[in-house]
Structure 1
Amino acid sequence: MPDSSTGEPRPPRAPRIYHGTEYTPLGRRPRNPPDAPNHLGPTLEWLQPTVRDKYISALLIAGILIVYLTVINGDFRWIHWWIMWVIIIGSALLLFRGIGNHWTAAGINWVQWREDWVDTYQLTRIQFSADGYSRVLRLKDAHGNKIHSFKISEIQRNPDLWDLVYNGILHSVASGNCDIDTKTRHILKIPYELGPRPTRSERTRGRRRRG
């Protein structure tokens, strides 16, 4: 484990599914972040949409709705229907506010998604799942803390943040006290030799998926 205060030495690069890169901002502080588990060490990496991101997303959804309404009606008569403007403006405002809640942060041995956090070195369950169109991780630690639906694309946007989290995941799996199935191991590229050996049926299913 790296030093809990300095974060050094940083863990090696973790394998990733998504390769977009967005590092922790150095020129500004986060806006109204939720309380972090500071008793586990300071926040070393974080990710938060900028105000510009929020405006762009809101304008984009408004533009999509305008184009959609125009196409299905064949003209612009819908602009005289006040309910359509309520839908467009309401959708843009909801997206604007919703994106602002996409807070992700990590320390040496913890990760936080919005207000929820877990101790990454004491995970008792790591499960890969799907939440709508998103691929997510469901995490639980030995203290009962849970992150129910952590978007993998979100957590991997910041490579340095993901490195910290993945290092903790490896330690948890190696401890033998973490429930992780073969599918999740395969998705996260966790060696089967790490932690309790999978059963013969699990190894067979894993090889079939890789094939």
Structure 2
Amino acid sequence: MSAPTQPAPKPDSVTGQPRPPQAPVEASWKPYDKATDIDPDDPPPGKGPALEWFADAKRTMWGAAGFLFLLGVIFLSVKDGGIDWMGVWWLWLILVVFTSPLLLVRRGTRMTVGADWLRLAGDQWVDTYRLSTIRVTTGFGTYHLELTDAAGNKADTQVWYLQKNRKLWDLLYNGILHSIVHHGADVNRRAVEHLHLQAVIRKPPIT
């Protein structure tokens, strides 16, 4: 997908219309199952309703936990040179303790957007149309998006996770474009490159 040259109109804060066009995503993007048993977060004070949200579905987390459990079994079998370890009950307990937290943190993966706001699990939220700083950093093989708005509110999480709900990402991305074009948000070079912002940058990237 080509880099955008300008932001789309800001959606209405209540209806969310008109929705922005589809935003660029990472090359490895794929659709994910959304939880049906977790509701969106409440909007920040003075903001319109939630329009899109995402939290991992139960089966996604069960699959991740099962995969880690299997890796643990393989690791112990290789380390032991066989399967004799399977008769040691406390090794099974370690595997369960190691993998079960994934099943307990689904609500902590929730993210919610309105027409002009993003809220992550807990108290992290930003006004997406008044961003002052937009940074992308790297770590553990993933790209991390760090946002700060004009009021000093901050939110940060992995880019690929924000893109799990494509419509959520579209709303957030349009706010990023508006913040750059209309409010002169500072953007680091990695964000320019990874988020395809080359055509909207008005000043040199920050470090």
TM-score higher than 0.5? yes
Contact preservation (8 Å) 1:23, 1:158: no
Quick one: distance in 2 between partners of 1:32 and 1:19? 24
- The answer to whether the aligner puts 1:198 opposite 2:204 as a matched pair is yes
Aligned to 1:87, what secondary structure does the other structure show?
helix
Q: State the partner residue of 1:205.
A: none
Are residue 111 (structure 1) and residue 121 (structure 2) matched?
no
Task: Identify which of 5, 14, 18 aligns with 1:5.
Answer: 14
Question: Counterparts of 1:176 and 1:33 in 2: how far apart (Å)?
Answer: 29
Higher relative helix content: 1
| Whole-Å separation in 2 of the counterparts to 1:90 and 1:24 | 25
Look up the match of 1:21: 31
What 5-or-longer segments of structure 2 have no aligned partner?
1-9
| 1:121 equivalent in alignment to 2:96 | no
- Checking the alignment, whether the CA contact within 8 Å between 2:33 and 2:60 is kept in structure 1 is no
Report the residue type matching 2:113 in the other structure.
A
Residues 1:130 and 2:138 are matched in the alignment: yes
d(CA) in 1 for partners of 2:108 and 2:97? Answer: 17
1:45 aligned partner: 52
Equivalent pairs, count: 195
| Equivalent position of 1:58 in the other structure | 65
Report if aligned partners of 1:54, 1:100 keep a CA contact under 8 Å in 2. no
Structure 1: 5+ residue stretches without partners: 203-211
Report Cα offsets for 1:117-156 as digits up to 9, x if no partner: 11100111100101322211111111111113x1111111
State which of 142, 149, 160 in structure 1 corresponds to 2:150: 142
Say what the alpha-carbon RMSD is for the aligned residues.
2.2
Percent of aligned positions with the same letter in both sequences?
Answer: 31
Distance 2:11 2:39 in 1: 27
- Match for 1:73: what amino acid? D
- The corresponding residue for 2:4 is none
The residue number in structure 2 matching 1:69 is 76
Separation (CA, whole Å) in 1 of partners of 2:130 and 2:81: 58
The answer (yes or no) to whether the contact 2:24–2:196 under 8 Å persists in 1 is: yes
- Could you list the structure 1 runs, at least 4 aligned residues long, displaced by more than 6 angstroms after superposition: none
